[in-house]
């Protein structure tokens, strides 16, 4: 199979064997404290063997705040386990980044969430330092780069959103709302230099009333590129302002459901890609949102709507999603039906596995 998305690509310090990225998704496979486990390593090794060029590890906490089975990088004690995982993935010829996440205080039970408007400068400075320190740990742990989680309902996403009503230097306008991220970038570069990949994930549209649309996110992308971001991964929705924990429309757009068409978010990566071209930036843009197959991914790339093709749930259903297509074994693929049974397990803090894959495994003879 000859496709451009299967050819090597290089940016910053990353040299990928192809343009296919396994996107970050919570697995609940870390232990209760947040240490790497054997099942977590096995999960990523399987996708590395399956043919991905880059694996972006699930949200990894930069702060020590309670969240069951959340992977952690908030202390040096987590480095050895993370290093074991990156070594195992690198042995399969795949590169690995890690998504760094900070979240404000919140209650799943009541829906209460701490407002970023209430954060003091001291708390903001602490948040920034946690991202900087965690990036240093990520490099020590063997990750080829980091991805700042600036999407969905988390702290950095809340700062860059139009819903941010702060009236100080961390609000007021687009530059102000982006300030916490650009200051984190500045601090990271002072620590790790310019030869280490630092990207981010943003919600191309938030799908909440009064929230960001492409009108805002294209300008945000320009600011991030200007200030040294190495790639932008484009997600959508996921804002808890629309309903706690993916119960609203914003949540269903983040984890696109079966009723939505394939490629439902391609217009978001395309819009951001066009905006970056306007300012002469060629940093890679990662697309997500129900990419049907490799042919579909190739069409998106050839049309200039994205540089890297992001896939998540299809490869949760079948780790050999790429390999089977390359080898002409499409009929053997265990296909994701976008039922979001995986999401329901995430919400219950259970190991996140594919319901369909489990049913297929049960039907196989012993």
10 Å CB burial of residue 73 (0-12, 13-18, 19+) is buried
Going by the DSSP 8-state scheme, the letter that residue 361 receives in this structure is H
- Whose tokens are 């870390």? That residue is 30
Radius of gyration of the chain measured on its C-alpha atoms: 19
User: In the annotation, is 246 catalytic?
Assistant: no
Maximal CA-CA distance, the chain: 64
* Letter string b/e over residues 241-277, b meaning 16 or more CB atoms within 10 A of that residue's CB: bbebebebebbbbbbbeeeeeebbbbbbbbbbbebbe
C-beta separation of 315 from 22 below 8 A: yes
Among 103, 121, 154, 196, the one annotated catalytic: 154
The alpha-helical segments, DSSP class H, found in 65-213 are 79-90, 121-140, 155-160, 174-192
What is residue 60's three-state secondary structure? strand
Question: Angle at which helices 121-140 and 174-192 pack, to 10 degrees?
Answer: 40
Contact in structure between 5 and 297 (CB atoms under 8 Å) = yes
Q: What's the rounded Cα separation, in Å, for the pair 174 and 212?
A: 11
Helix (H, G, I), strand (E, B) or coil at 71: strand
Catalytic residue numbers, as ranges: 154
């Amino acid at each position: 199979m000859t496709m451009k998305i299967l050819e090597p690509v290089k940016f910053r310090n990353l040299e990928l064997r192809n343009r296919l990225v396994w996107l970050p998704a919570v697995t609940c496979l870390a232990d209760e404290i947040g240490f790497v486990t054997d099942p977590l390593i096995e999960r990523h090794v399987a996708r590395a063997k399956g043919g991905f060029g880059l694996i972006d590890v699930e949200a990894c906490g930069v702060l020590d705040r309670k969240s069951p089975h959340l992977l952690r990088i908030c202390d040096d004690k987590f480095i050895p386990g993370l290093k074991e995982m990156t070594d195992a993935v690198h042995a399969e010829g795949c590169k690995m980044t890690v998504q760094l996440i900070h979240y404000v205080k919140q209650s799943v039970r009541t829906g209460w969430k701490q407002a970023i408007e209430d954060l003091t400068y001291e708390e903001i400075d602490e948040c920034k330092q946690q991202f900087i320190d965690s990036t240093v740990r990520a490099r020590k742990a063997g990750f080829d780069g980091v991805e700042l989680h600036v999407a969905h309902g988390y702290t950095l996403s809340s700062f860059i959103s139009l819903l941010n009503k702060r009236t100080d230097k961390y609000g007021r306008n687009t530059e102000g709302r982006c300030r916490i991220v650009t200051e984190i970038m500045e601090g990271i570069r002072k620590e790790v230099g310019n030869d280490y990949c630092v990207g981010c994930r943003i919600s191309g549209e938030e799908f909440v009333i009064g929230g960001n649309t492409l009108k805002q996110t294209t300008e945000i992308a320009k600011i991030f590129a200007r200030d040294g971001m190495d790639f932008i991964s484009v997600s959508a929705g996921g804002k808890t302002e629309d309903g706690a924990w993916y119960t609203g429309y914003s949540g269903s757009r983040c984890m696109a459901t079966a009723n939505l068409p394939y490629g439902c978010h391609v217009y978001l990566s395309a819009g951001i890609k066009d905006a970056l071209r306007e300012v002469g930036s060629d940093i890679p843009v990662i697309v997500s949102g129900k990419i049907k197959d490799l042919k579909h991914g190739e069409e998106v790339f050839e049309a200039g709507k994205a540089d890297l093709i992001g896939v998540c749930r299809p490869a949760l259903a079948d780790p050999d999603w790429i390999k089977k297509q390359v080898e002409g074994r499409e009929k053997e693929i265990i296909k994701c039906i976008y039922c979001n049974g995986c999401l329901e397990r995430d919400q219950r803090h259970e190991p996140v596995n594919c319901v369909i894959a489990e049913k297929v495994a049960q039907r196989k003879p012993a």
